[in-house]
Amino acid sequence: MLSNSIYNCPASSVQQGTHESVFCARPSFHTYQVSSWSEMSDYYRPEDVIKAAGLMLEHAESFRGNDNFEYDLVDIVRQAVAEKGRLVYPVVISAFRSGDRELFREASSRFLDLILCQDRLLATRPEFKVGRWIGMARALGQTEAEKDLYEWNARVQVTTWGNRIAADEGGLRDYAHKEWNGLLRDFYYLRWKTWFDELAARLEGKPSAEIDFYALEEPWTLQHNAYPAQAEGDPIEVAGEVYRSIVR
């Protein structure tokens, strides 16, 4: 199923890299790709990936304790959640444009819940944790000042890629975006929640205000709050719970 869908990118495609998750993009009315030069296209049905994740879950208990399988299971369910987000996003936009406040509230809340679901899922594998990334960077430093500098570099690399000029004018923001536990709930969620709140205010007839996304993003790159690097939770159980929540 996967070989005939997400793994079957047509030879004519000029897409660079993998299919990008809408969760990691700066919000807009035309959000599709994340990095500025991705040129990705929808060459497969999201429903096929979601179904494939379900098939893996059906046999998950037979492979409990198999590290490779559990990694792949979390990864495919991660992708399934991202696919669900791509399906919900146009509902949010349509609801806003039609002035349907109730549908907008429901769809935007659903979208935000999906980000948190993915964050919870990815906490079960150390490979998908921003704490591991930051921890490795800090470990390279010999002094506290060096550790802080390397942490800043690690945080900037996966988010803004630099200062405002690099992020906005240069279009380098999210160049190395990651669907990682910690990053999803503290960085990407904030962007989407802020934008949805602004749209909700417009639907209520309040004056619109342009969002300075870089001003939202930069503070996270300057922080030194600790993120766990070790896995949290049972990957099979959490994957099952998350999957059932996206297909309900």
Instruction: Note whether residue 228 is domain-resident.
Output: yes
- The number of domains in the chain is 1
pTM: 0.95
The C-alpha atoms of residue 158 and residue 96 are separated, in whole angstroms, by 30
Instruction: Note whether residue 85 is domain-resident.
Output: yes
Q: For 115-167, what is each residue's pLDDT tens digit?
A: 999 999 999 999 999 999 999 999 999 999 999 999 999 999 999 999 999 99
Across-strand partners of 55? none
- CATH label of the domain that carries residue 178: 1.20.120.670
Hey, how many other C-beta atoms are within 10 angstroms of the C-beta on 44? 18
- Assess contact for 169 and 74: CB atoms under 8 A: no
- Helix extents (H) in the chain: 46-58, 67-98, 101-122, 130-139, 144-157, 164, 183, 189-203, 213-222, 235-247
Instruction: Note whether residue 93 is domain-resident.
Output: yes
Instruction: Note whether residue 150 is domain-resident.
Output: yes
- Assess contact for 155 and 220: CB atoms under 8 A: yes
Residues of the domain holding 117: 22-247
Query: Does the structure show a pLDDT above 80 at 17?
Result: no
pLDDT band of 9, cuts 50, 70, 90:
confident
Residue 36: per-residue pLDDT:
77
Instruction: Note whether residue 3 is domain-resident.
Output: no
Instruction: Note whether residue 180 is domain-resident.
Output: yes
The C-alpha atoms of residue 192 and residue 185 are separated, in whole angstroms, by 10
Q: For 56-70, what is each residue's pLDDT tens digit?
A: 999 999 999 999 999
Residue 58: per-residue pLDDT:
98
Instruction: Note whether residue 2 is domain-resident.
Output: no
Instruction: Note whether residue 103 is domain-resident.
Output: yes
